[in-house]
Structures are given as structure tokens and as C-alpha cells.
Amino acid sequence: MTSIEVANRHIAGGRDDLVRLEASRDRETGKGVFPRLPATSPSVDRFEPITLSTEATLYSHTTIHPNPKTGEPPFTLVYADFPEDVRVFGRLRLRPGEKPVIGSKLVVCADGDPNATYFFTAVEEEK
């Protein structure tokens, strides 16, 4: 399974598009890991469960261009840094004409179903 498939999440504040991912923090080093370690992990006693913030910062990105024969459009993958010292890998959904910018603020979203795959979107800057 990928981290996307095993990610635990819950809807925050009742909004369907606002998602909080669950991770673990090493009790010794304080370093966070995503996804949360399962209860069956032999290392689970070393970690405490944490819930990540709803916003993260774009650390890096790459755009994948699938083979044209697949008919799939290009998509962007990112690493996002959360304030809890956790780096998460996932897809970034961009608006038409939008380009990813290192250091920009991202929010975690899901398609209305808390069991759906999560993704990131860029926070719109207030003008």
C-alpha cells in the first residue's frame, strides 16, 4: 500500500474539503513520520499519534507527463512540509494556468468522502 491508501484522516470543522492527516512522532527524537504507524508495528511504542495541521508549505514538486497513448493529462506531485515537522508526499491539484511555487501555502483536501484519497491545493492569496 502507498501512504495515500493507508492515510487516516478526518474532516475538520465539518467542511468536506478540509482534511487533517494523521501521523506519528518519535518520542525520543521528536521527528514526525507519515502515515501514522499502525498499532501492529513493532515500533509503535516508540511513537505517539499526532494530527497534522490543515495547511502545509510546498517543499518541492515535479510534473509527470504520462505517455500520450494513455490519454492521461500531466499531473503534479509534491512534498509538503507541515508545522509539526512532518513531510508528506502527495498530488497537487492546480487550477487552470496555475503553476506550483516553492514555499507557497497548501491545504489538504479530499473529494467530500473522508475515506477518499487526499490531495493538496494551493491557498489562494488574498488581494
Q: From residue 117, give the alpha-carbon distance in Å to each of 40, 41, 47, 122.
A: 23, 23, 24, 17
Stretch 121-127: mean pLDDT, rounded? 77
pLDDT at 112: 66
H or E, element range at 121: strand 119-122
44 against 5, higher pLDDT: 44
How many other CB atoms are there within 10 angstroms of residue 122's CB atom? 19
Angle among Cα 35, 47, 6 to the nearest 5 degrees reads 20
Q: pLDDT tens digit string along 55-106?
A: 999 999 999 999 999 999 999 999 999 999 999 999 999 998 899 999 999 9
Total number of residues shown for the chain: 127
